[in-house]
């Protein structure tokens, strides 16, 4: 049947999606965005397309990405989105550099306690990135001490720890916007 007719369905943007899109669009070039990947491969069919779109948007709009995961396989999911984005000719032409335009801090166990500790010291939770580079040697991390140095947090979550913990701690305690 699809070969013989086309079906045009209306696409409605929910207020929540529009609010997130507006928040990202309001970030100026060079803004530092912490992206937390709190999911694993079984949740990828739902979350990976959103991650792919977000990473491409961030790179095209000169948002600086600090990537982490509260789930062990989260940083690998992020790497897949980065790899996909870097194949886009428009993004490849930007000559993005690891450590200057984006960094993957890695996975840290501890659930909501990781978020709480990051409220006072990112370095305390992530003394080295996934490439084993010291925190202080990564140009993108210079001046990033805690959430007060982050412009936005983007969370991709499929359970606990995840969005609830980010809202309870990062938003409620430290006042950082989370999407």
pLDDT given at position 139 = 98
The radius of gyration computed from the CA coordinates of the chain, to the nearest angstrom, equals 17
pLDDT given at position 4 = 75
Strand boundaries in 50-131, DSSP class E: 64-69, 102-107
pLDDT in tens, 51-81: 999 999 999 999 999 999 999 999 999 999 9
pLDDT band at 6 (very low <50, low <70, confident <90, very high): confident
pLDDT in tens, 10-41: 889 999 999 999 999 999 999 999 999 999 99
| Sequence-separated (6 or more) residues with CB below 8 Å from residue 41 | 73, 77
pLDDT given at position 1 = 55
Cα 142 to Cα 57, 134, 137, 146, 149: the distances in Å are 23, 11, 8, 11, 10
């Amino acid at each position: 049947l699809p070969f013989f007719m086309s079906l045009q369905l209306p696409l409605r943007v929910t207020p929540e999606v529009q609010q997130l899109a507006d928040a990202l669009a309001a970030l100026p070039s060079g803004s530092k965005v912490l992206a937390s990947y709190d999911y694993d491969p079984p949740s990828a069919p739902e979350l990976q397309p959103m991650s792919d779109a977000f990473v491409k948007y961030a790179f095209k709009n000169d948002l600086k990405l600090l990537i982490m995961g509260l789930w062990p396989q989260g940083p690998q999911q992020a790497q897949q989105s980065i790899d996909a984005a870097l194949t886009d000719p428009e993004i490849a032409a930007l000559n993005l550099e690891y450590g200057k335009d984006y960094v993957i801090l890695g996975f840290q166990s501890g659930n909501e306690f990781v978020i709480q500790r990051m409220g006072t010291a990112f370095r305390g939770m992530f003394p080295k990135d996934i490439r084993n580079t010291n925190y202080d040697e990564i140009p993108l991390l210079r001046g990033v001490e805690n959430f007060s140095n982050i412009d936005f947090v983007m969370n991709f979550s499929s359970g606990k720890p995840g969005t609830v913990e980010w809202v309870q701690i990062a938003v409620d305690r430290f006042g950082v916007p989370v999407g």
